[in-house]
Amino acid sequence: MPKDYKLGPCAHGKIGAFYFYAEGSQDDPAFGFCEIELSVQYVAQNRMRIELYCVADGYQSARGVGARHPLKIAVLAGETVLGTANWHFPDVICGHADPMHFAADIDLEEGLFPTADRIELRRTSGESEPCA
Q: What is the pLDDT of residue 49?
A: 96
Q: What is the pLDDT of residue 62?
A: 77
- Distance separating alpha carbons of residues 123 and 62, to the nearest angstrom: 20
Q: On the CB side of 40, how many CA atoms lie within 13 Å of its CA?
A: 23
Q: What percent of the chain has pLDDT over 90?
A: 53
What confidence tier does 25 reach under pLDDT thresholds 50, 70, 90?
confident
- Give the Cα-Cα-Cα angle 70, 130, 125 (nearest 5 degrees): 25
| pTM recorded for the entire structure | 0.86
pLDDT of 27 higher than 90: no
What is the average pLDDT score of the chain?
Answer: 89
Q: What is the pLDDT of residue 129?
A: 86
